[in-house]
Structure 1
Amino acid sequence: MPKFIEMPKLSDTMTEGTLAKWTVKEGDKVSVGKAIADIETDKATMEYASPFEGVLHKFIATPGGKVPLGAPLAVILEEDEAPPANLDELIAKAQASAAPAPAAEKKPAASAAKTAAPGARLPLAPQHRSRAASAGAALRVKASPLAKKIAAERGVDLNSLIGTGPGGRVVRADVENAPVGGASAGRVAATPAIRPVVGPEDERVPTSSMRNIIAERLLASKTQIPHFYLQMEIDAGPLMAFRAHLNASAEKTSGNKYTVNDFILKAVIRAAEAQPAINAAWDGDAIVKFKSVGLSVAIAIDDGLVTPVIKQAEKKTLLEISQSVKDLAGKAKNKKLSPDDFAGGTITVSNLGAYGIDQFSAIINPPQAAIIAIGSIRSAPVVNDKGQIVVGQRMWVGLSGDHRVVDGAVAATFLAEMRKLLENPALMLV
């Protein structure tokens, strides 16, 4: 009996995948756990291992093609098994059963995150999902009196809005962010974008699934999350001296070599413990305060940026953090990251210091409430305690915060704790 290898769900937000390439040939024997293909998801390109043992009889999907979840990729037969006469019919049935439902039949919740009005949150809870699909029905919309008044004056259809108030209630901001005339959030999202003029020598490169989701989430982050930005200069001299001392000792014993980023990550973790309000997320009518620190570490790869997570980071030593980052970076480079590697992030660190960037403002990684931006370490003239101008080492650390969750004073206190730790690095070892 033929078995179908199907497009797997390799991430929590994945609805389809792109078959990047086959790493086996038709007629090859495969075993359970043997890598047979590279599959590109909305987060990374990952190796896919065969769930069955047998002979790979026939490829169904071709490299470069997008395949819905559960759709057949290939046919596997047992060794010496002859293919059934109705194999093509079985393939067609499998493809039909995995085909996405027509747009009119899809539940509005499935596209809520994409059709959200500027006032909506990420991700949307069930009580806040789009009412746009039911705009024609006689629904009683929960809305504040002021929201109803403004909607009547502006001609906005309350049924087309996503309420961001308690219990999904439509509030003033939701109406003010809506287009005049009652256009739904979905129609707003469909407004044609300003397109570039492409010349005959210009190249138009189709975007990958991963790049599409990056663009989608960052657009949502910048339009739906009220960002604010703080910057703080840190004396990196003590950190560099302490790191040099540790690495010199490690070299004698063939121990672990620490990067500057290892200390920065440890400082972020300790500062998040000291100021737990930063380790939180907006949840519509509540703020979620995470008990554990899930440290998302931004890693650049060929097609964008991935943010695998160091889970329960507060329980890890500096050595364990250093080893975890090296492991995640290696897996990212070799396309070995699994869905579990991306789960559970509560705060993100993005370090562009290695690229010579002195300071920058990062975009929040939703639904988190903060991202930390790390710049390069530079030699600069500074005034010491004696009032003398000397050569010092300085580093800029930035924080982008979700102002619905984090107040400026909270973020400033967090950065001050980071500075204390980085300027006194031995504190991170106790």
Structure 2
Amino acid sequence: MMRQRVISFTRRFALKQAASCGTTPHASVSTSRRRLAHMARPLFFLSCSDGSRPMLNMGFYAGRKSACLMSRRGFADLPEVSTIVMPALSPTMTHGTISEWTKKPGDVCEAGDVLCEIETDKAVVAFDVQDECVLAKILEEAKGREIQVGMPVALSVEDKAAYEAFVEADKAGKIATPSTEALPSPTASSTSPPAPSLPASPPPSPPTPTAHLGDFALSPAARHLLHSRQLTLSAEVHGTGKGGRLTKGDVIQAIANGQAQAAAFAAVPPPPPGLDPAQVGIPTIQAGPGTFSDTKNSNMRKVIARRLAESKATVPHAYETVDCEIDAVLSFRKQMQRDFEVNVSVNDFIIRSAALALRDVPEANAFWDGPKGTAVLKEDVDISVAVATPAGLITPIISGSDRRRLSEISATMKDLAGRARQGKLKPEEFQGGSFTISNLGMFGIDEFSAVINPPQAAIMAVGRGAKRVRAPPYLPDQHAGNLKPYTATVMTATLSFDRRVLDEALAAQFLQAFKSYMSRPELLLL
């Protein structure tokens, strides 16, 4: 039995093309051994008996013999190029800025090496290389513009030999550099011109009749009838009341005689053509006298502004305040320094007290699930502590705060705060958290209220400890003579809480538990 030879469509097309040249084709069809990453199919070359090598047009390029050979050499010499894009290093990150390139073109990158540092909406995060490669070309320089997540930032190749071929091809203009321009938002219209700004206009006054009623002496009932029916009277109407005053009966009679007409209102001029009606009446902001300068915000500050505005607009904030006497904490802190040489700050006592209070009142250790419309209680007490950095405010997390000792909380907080100011925090060290503490006592602030950090349900704002004169506690009458005012170091704590998750009673229970731990620091050792 003879075997039937199956010839592919590409081969049949090549044979037909050679026959049209009047030559006898050889038996081999060669393909390019390497492909560019953006090409989907290879180029095919056909050898003819007369020595010519016509190129088949497979959808990419067809031209003269010299161009075909040059294209073939280009395909054989060009390496496979991979595109490195801006990663999403946090759940809320939409844009990023290259802070520093730690590698330069031509450097070999091993798996786990830091390629660059990226300023996200939270911090400056190191971007690690996942696979071994050679950095071929940098598309976005450091300290440049904001880059949308998913846009190209660099190109890489497999090895040094591929890099050398890449450099030669790039000089010859054979490397197609991917576009780094972000796509426009689908909701934004690039063709619509900006709406012209107009000076502020006074609010439109209510329409007034062309014939006012001041020409007539009207009784109250007659005036009310004309205004309610929006009528005006002709000049021929005469009143029958005292002194020629028009009475309600005169108005009714005038309506019956056809001497009352609908009031004509002054026409309101339409807005200029092409102007959005919503823009009418909006004043144009003009600079006042003197000089000023614009300050460029970092990505972190922009995101903080946006998220806090969303929090105040969408989260129902409620507030409760409590005063805590911290003389026992200050005395206990000095004792730990003297006897055990352990340096623990007041902020560490606050974190530990809040953690134990959250364990006692687990309803405060929760967050709001918007899509489900439910409050979700967290099992782990992970406290976020606000730290001021040059780039903005960041909240590193002390995970399992209720299970940590005071000395452990102190060491962890010092490490996190130091690396936060250097922008060296890992994403898992500042993403998440179940409760936030913001302490401005070191800045001399007596008390303040903080904005909730969604989706958390509460944030506690802590002021400084200051000496105050306190009234004595209430006791039965037989002991009243021995009571006197006293001086104490008082610290004010204000709890901002999501009213959808906590009510006032639960918030008060948490603050009372926190106050109890701060007044009896020996309980923090249990």
Coarse TM-score class (shorter-chain normalised): 0.7 to 0.9
Q: What residue is the counterpart of 1:79 in the other structure?
A: 160
1:320 aligns with 2:408: yes
Q: What residue is the counterpart of 2:43 in the other structure?
A: none
Q: CA deviation at 1:202?
A: 1.1
CA offsets 1:168-192 (integer angstroms, 9 cap, x no match): xxxxxxxxxxxxxxxxxxxx9xxx9
> 1:311, 1:344 within 8 Å by CA — same for their partners in 2?
no
Q: CA deviation at 1:200?
A: 6.2
Q: What residue is the counterpart of 1:68 in the other structure?
A: 148
So what's the TM-score if we normalise by structure 2? 0.60
Q: Give the match's secondary structure for 1:103.
A: coil
Of the structure 1 ranges 242-251 and 49-58, higher mean CA displacement relative to structure 2 is found in: 49-58
CA offsets 1:194-216 (integer angstroms, 9 cap, x no match): 96737663110222221111011
> 2:470, 2:488 within 8 Å by CA — same for their partners in 1?
yes
* Greater share of residues in helix: 1
Q: What residue is the counterpart of 1:92 in the other structure?
A: 177
Q: What residue is the counterpart of 2:355 in the other structure?
A: 269
Equivalences, count? 342
Q: What residue is the counterpart of 1:220 in the other structure?
A: 310
1:286 aligns with 2:369: no
Q: CA deviation at 1:50?
A: 3.8
> 1:11, 1:41 within 8 Å by CA — same for their partners in 2?
yes
Alpha-carbon distance in structure 1 between the residues aligned to 2:350 and 2:420: 20
Of the structure 1 ranges 372-381 and 276-285, higher mean CA displacement relative to structure 2 is found in: 276-285
Poorly superposed stretches of 4+, deviation over 3 Å: 1-5, 23-36, 49-57, 86-96, 99-102, 192-200, 383-386
Q: CA deviation at 1:311?
A: 2.1
Alpha carbons of structure 1 residues 423 and 90: separation in structure 2 relative to 1, 3 Å: farther
Q: What residue is the counterpart of 2:128 in the other structure?
A: 49
Alpha-carbon distance in structure 2 between the residues aligned to 1:94 and 1:390: 71
Q: What residue is the counterpart of 2:340 in the other structure?
A: 250
Q: Give the match's secondary structure for 1:214.
A: helix
1:240 aligns with 2:330: yes
Q: What residue is the counterpart of 2:41 in the other structure?
A: none
Q: Give the match's secondary structure for 2:89.
A: coil
1:59 aligns with 2:138: yes
Alignment of 1:9-408 (within 5 A): 9-53=88-132, 55-62=134-141, 63-77=143-157, 78-80=159-161, 81-84=163-166, 85=169, 92-93=177-178, 95=180, 99-100=182-183, 102-103=185-186, 197=287, 201-251=291-341, 256-284=342-370, 285-384=373-472, 386-408=482-504
**Identical-pair percentage:** 36
Q: Give the match's secondary structure for 1:296.
A: strand
The letter of the residue matching 1:59 is I
Give 5+ residue unaligned stretches, structure 1.
106-187
CA offsets 1:43-97 (integer angstroms, 9 cap, x no match): 112233344545433221023222222322223342343243269776534758x
Alpha carbons of structure 1 residues 312 and 90: separation in structure 2 relative to 1, 3 Å: farther
Q: CA deviation at 1:294?
A: 1.8
> 2:351, 2:401 within 8 Å by CA — same for their partners in 1?
no
CA offsets 1:233-254 (integer angstroms, 9 cap, x no match): 1111001001111122232xxx
Of the structure 1 ranges 332-341 and 259-268, higher mean CA displacement relative to structure 2 is found in: 332-341
Alpha carbons of structure 1 residues 359 and 104: separation in structure 2 relative to 1, 3 Å: closer
The letter of the residue matching 1:202 is F
Which of 486, 510, 523 pairs up with 1:414? 510
Alpha-carbon distance in structure 2 between the residues aligned to 1:230 and 1:200: 43
Q: What residue is the counterpart of 2:58 in the other structure?
A: none
Q: Give the match's secondary structure for 1:215.
A: helix
Alpha-carbon distance in structure 2 between the residues aligned to 1:16 and 1:51: 21
Alpha-carbon distance in structure 1 between the residues aligned to 2:283 and 2:463: 33
Alpha-carbon distance in structure 2 between the residues aligned to 1:283 and 1:69: 26
> 1:2, 1:83 within 8 Å by CA — same for their partners in 2?
no
Q: Give the match's secondary structure for 1:82.
A: helix
Of the structure 1 ranges 391-400 and 62-71, higher mean CA displacement relative to structure 2 is found in: 62-71
Alpha carbons of structure 1 residues 345 and 198: separation in structure 2 relative to 1, 3 Å: farther
So what's the TM-score if we normalise by structure 1? 0.72
Of the structure 1 ranges 233-242 and 278-287, higher mean CA displacement relative to structure 2 is found in: 278-287
Alpha carbons of structure 1 residues 406 and 47: separation in structure 2 relative to 1, 3 Å: same
Alpha-carbon distance in structure 2 between the residues aligned to 1:389 and 1:343: 46
Give 5+ residue unaligned stretches, structure 2.
1-79, 189-277, 474-481
Q: CA deviation at 1:392?
A: 1.8
Alpha carbons of structure 1 residues 79 and 240: separation in structure 2 relative to 1, 3 Å: same
Alpha carbons of structure 1 residues 221 and 194: separation in structure 2 relative to 1, 3 Å: farther
